[in-house]
A and B are shown apart, each in its own frame.
Chain A
């Protein structure tokens, strides 16, 4: 990601905003709304989860209200969920409260991949190296820090975590050194 430039012209214009203007400005800065497809997709996911849960609940056995089987309560909730999903799919199709995935969304995706990778390799090689890599990726590529400060700060951060979690607290976090 490219670092965001500090625009020096902005403050003059921004300073004297009334609450209403400020609210409007926040509204403008909001990421673009997603289209009807995203809304429909989220409703369909809800429907899918709901229907899956209905099937699994029925398989667990429903019983009667006076002698319920384990599946009765999940069955009730998942029925509510299916109903709400259907309602959202139809009545909520004009809603525009979902956010569009933009090029900015690459950042959280990258962040997520690094987190997942860290969880995967941490039991094998300890937390230090994955944490260092995670810091470097987040600071240099997601945050646009310079290489120098990235490497320096990442090393300090990992050392600090080692000091807190391994030396001071003595937790059993997998560690290499």
Chain B
């Protein structure tokens, strides 16, 4: 078990008091911002990115892991208490979670969700510990052509799996790629799209884009007062589920962990699909399926376990291939880049302390989440009772002042406002912001690997198909790109006789 040595060394890093403290701060602040109605994990992480500046890389990443878990759980709290899912992956939690809250069992629901998240998350990290080095060693042979294909496939998958119109998601991705080209051309050094601005000469930073589009855009969008749902209950008691309830939910938690882990590895919305699949599976397996939607504990425990397991296992493609699987992972990717860490297959070998520090910080984040969430639920409920009218300007100011601290310049603040407008308008017009940020993050990697491979191939694009792995990936790319179009064309031909179909899809409230 030689390979376990670096794992244990990683624990030593994580357990340093400073790191533990930062992880704790991350979990608490992540939850604090995450419980704000309408702000999901992506927005929360984006707003809090400046916090991780000026800290040691390992510490910063540990803090990020804390923020990530805290923000995830914050969304669960609003799902259960306010019937407002913080993000798509906790939508199904609303069905039974809110009913439990109505029956006075809000505490039990939150407790089950926390325990389930802990179990699912921990199981997924154990899976990650063993699987990630294997994937990484496989990916070590990847050259520029493979990375080109992988990045293209990653962007396409995230765009096509997102809710809303696929063409619009792809447009957002194209805009992200275009924004990534602003600044100096890495090969020739020539300025591109800078319009003579010195501030733009080095390109646009990732942080103002993320803070603007996810953070400020979301805040502005919420100003239209769409979140006026239920009022938070004044008191939440009994967070510890009874033995009977735990027993009832344990099967759901076990199944959710496995299901979530495997669905999470797939790119694009892993956590969302995992939570829905888990809910469907639990309902199907149940002896009395009619209990679901009326406060069945399994209906909370299963999906919450699955989405946390999936959220954790979606770190695998990020840490081993350097390809973020969804928008939240794109933020983690950007945050790692800021710290001078380029996630990729070489990370395990070259910087084992950091790699295992990241992985093990997730264990700690999970444990802290469990320890913090149960006793602190009361405080978060109090926060929920603070009116949105007061929270909105506070978060907006945190975003603006935080943006200033990135480079101590007003330019970044202006960029955040500009991208806030872009993000708001995108949401208004039905463009998913996630693909834009993801594509922006991958833009430079995509361009440089594509140009490098073309140099190798002597300018012949068919060279991509001459290598087995890149050829396979590109074949999948073409399949993913063409299949839905063909399907919808066939469906349209069938439905053309019928009246123009009204859009009936449930739009997620994020």
Question: Within the assembled complex, what's the spacing in Å between the Cα atoms of A19 and B397?
Answer: 37
Contacts of A111 in B (CB 8 A): 219-220, 223, 392, 396
Give the shortest distance, in Å, between A72 (CB) and chain B (any CB): 8
Contacts of A165 in B (CB 8 A): 401, 405
Q: Is the interface of B mostly helix, strand, loop or mixed?
A: helix
Q: Which of B17-25, B326-334, B375-383, B451-459 forms part of the interface with chain A? A: B451-459
Q: Are A31 and B389 in contact (CB under 8 A)?
A: no
Give the shortest distance, in Å, between A92 (CB) and chain B (any CB): 6
Tell me whether A176 is interfacial, beta carbon within 8 Å.
no
* Given contacts A30-B507, A97-B503, A143-B392, A108 and B220 within 8 Å (CB-CB): yes
Q: Are B396 and A138 in contact (CB under 8 A)?
A: yes
Q: Which of B199-207, B311-319, B340-348, B421-429 forms part of the interface with chain A? A: B421-429
The residue in chain A whose Cβ has the minimal distance to the Cβ of B411 is: A119
Question: Within the assembled complex, what's the spacing in Å between the Cα atoms of A66 and B427?
Answer: 39
Choose from A6, A92, A108, A145 the contact partner of B221 (Cβ within 8 Å). Answer: A108
Tell me whether B170 is interfacial, beta carbon within 8 Å.
yes
Question: Within the assembled complex, what's the spacing in Å between the Cα atoms of A68 and B178?
Answer: 17
Contacts of B427 in A (CB 8 A): 99
Q: Are B390 and A139 in contact (CB under 8 A)?
A: yes
Q: Which of B117-125, B160-168, B353-361 forms part of the interface with chain A? A: B160-168
Contacts of B219 in A (CB 8 A): 111
Residues of B433-459 contacting chain A, CB below 8 A? 447, 450-451, 454-455, 458-459
Question: Within the assembled complex, what's the spacing in Å between the Cα atoms of A65 and B455?
Answer: 8
Contacts of B413 in A (CB 8 A): 119, 122
Tell me whether A125 is interfacial, beta carbon within 8 Å.
no
Contacts of A78 in B (CB 8 A): 174, 178
Contacts of B503 in A (CB 8 A): 33, 95-97
Question: Within the assembled complex, what's the spacing in Å between the Cα atoms of A31 and B224?
Answer: 9
Residues of B335-377 contacting chain A, CB below 8 A? none
The residue in chain A whose Cβ has the minimal distance to the Cβ of B195 is: A56
Choose from A65, A97, A122 the contact partner of B460 (Cβ within 8 Å). Answer: A65
The residue in chain B whose Cβ has the minimal distance to the Cβ of A127 is: B401
Choose from A4, A38, A161 the contact partner of B397 (Cβ within 8 Å). Answer: A161
Give the shortest distance, in Å, between B33 (CB) and chain A (any CB): 15
Q: Are B405 and A88 in contact (CB under 8 A)?
A: no
Tell me whether A22 is interfacial, beta carbon within 8 Å.
yes
Contacts of A122 in B (CB 8 A): 410, 413
Among B177, B293, B393, B397, the one with the most A-chain Cβ atoms within 10 Å of its Cβ is B393
Question: Within the assembled complex, what's the spacing in Å between the Cα atoms of A123 and B405?
Answer: 14
**Binary flags per residue of B391-409, CB closer than 8 Å to A gives 1, else 0:** 0111011001100110010
Q: Are A142 and B389 in contact (CB under 8 A)?
A: yes
Contacts of B216 in A (CB 8 A): 115
Question: Within the assembled complex, what's the spacing in Å between the Cα atoms of A172 and B224?
Answer: 33
Question: Within the assembled complex, what's the spacing in Å between the Cα atoms of A143 and B501?
Answer: 38
The residue in chain B whose Cβ has the minimal distance to the Cβ of A165 is: B401
Give the shortest distance, in Å, between B138 (CB) and chain A (any CB): 28
Q: Are B178 and A81 in contact (CB under 8 A)?
A: yes
Choose from A6, A105, A145 the contact partner of B231 (Cβ within 8 Å). Answer: A6
Choose from B94, B185, B230, B408 the contact partner of A11 (Cβ within 8 Å). Answer: B230
Residues of A40-92 contacting chain B, CB below 8 A? 42, 46, 49-50, 53, 56, 60, 64-71, 73-74, 77-78, 80-81, 84-85, 87-88, 91-92
Residues of A115-142 contacting chain B, CB below 8 A? 115-116, 118-119, 122-123, 127, 131, 134-135, 138-139, 142
The residue in chain A whose Cβ has the minimal distance to the Cβ of B413 is: A119
Question: Within the assembled complex, what's the spacing in Å between the Cα atoms of A85 and B387?
Answer: 40
The residue in chain A whose Cβ has the minimal distance to the Cβ of B402 is: A165
Tell me whether A163 is interfacial, beta carbon within 8 Å.
no
Q: Are B430 and A70 in contact (CB under 8 A)?
A: no
Question: Within the assembled complex, what's the spacing in Å between the Cα atoms of A17 and B170?
Answer: 36
Tell me whether A104 is interfacial, beta carbon within 8 Å.
yes
Tell me whether B188 is interfacial, beta carbon within 8 Å.
yes
Q: Are A73 and B225 in contact (CB under 8 A)?
A: no
Among B178, B228, B421, the one with the most A-chain Cβ atoms within 10 Å of its Cβ is B178
Contacts of B389 in A (CB 8 A): 138-139, 142-145
Choose from A18, A64, A108, A153 the contact partner of B293 (Cβ within 8 Å). Answer: A18
Give the shortest distance, in Å, between B84 (CB) and chain A (any CB): 10
Q: Are A15 and B293 in contact (CB under 8 A)?
A: no
Tell me whether A159 is interfacial, beta carbon within 8 Å.
no
Q: Are A70 and B188 in contact (CB under 8 A)?
A: yes
Tell me whether B102 is interfacial, beta carbon within 8 Å.
yes
**Binary flags per residue of B196-215, CB closer than 8 Å to A gives 1, else 0:** 00000000000000000000
Residues of A8-38 contacting chain B, CB below 8 A? 11, 14-15, 18-19, 22-23, 26-27, 29-31, 33-34, 38
Contacts of A99 in B (CB 8 A): 427-430
Contacts of A171 in B (CB 8 A): 404-405, 408
Question: Within the assembled complex, what's the spacing in Å between the Cα atoms of A146 and B432?
Answer: 36
* Given contacts A99-B430, A173-B405, A138 and B393 within 8 Å (CB-CB): yes
Contacts A/B (CB < 8 Å), 21 sampled: A22-B83, A23-B506, A27-B507, A30-B507, A34-B429, A49-B178, A70-B192, A73-B181, A74-B192, A81-B175, A81-B178, A92-B168, A97-B507, A108-B224, A111-B220, A111-B223, A115-B417, A119-B413, A134-B393, A135-B393, A154-B393
Residues of A whose CB lies within 8 Å of any CB of B are 1, 4, 6, 11, 14-15, 18-19, 22-23, 26-27, 29-31, 33-34, 38-39, 42, 46, 49-50, 53, 56, 60, 64-71, 73-74, 77-78, 80-81, 84-85, 87-88, 91-92, 94-99, 101-102, 104-105, 107-108, 111-112, 115-116, 118-119, 122-123, 127, 131, 134-135, 138-139, 142-145, 153-154, 157, 161, 165, 169, 171-173
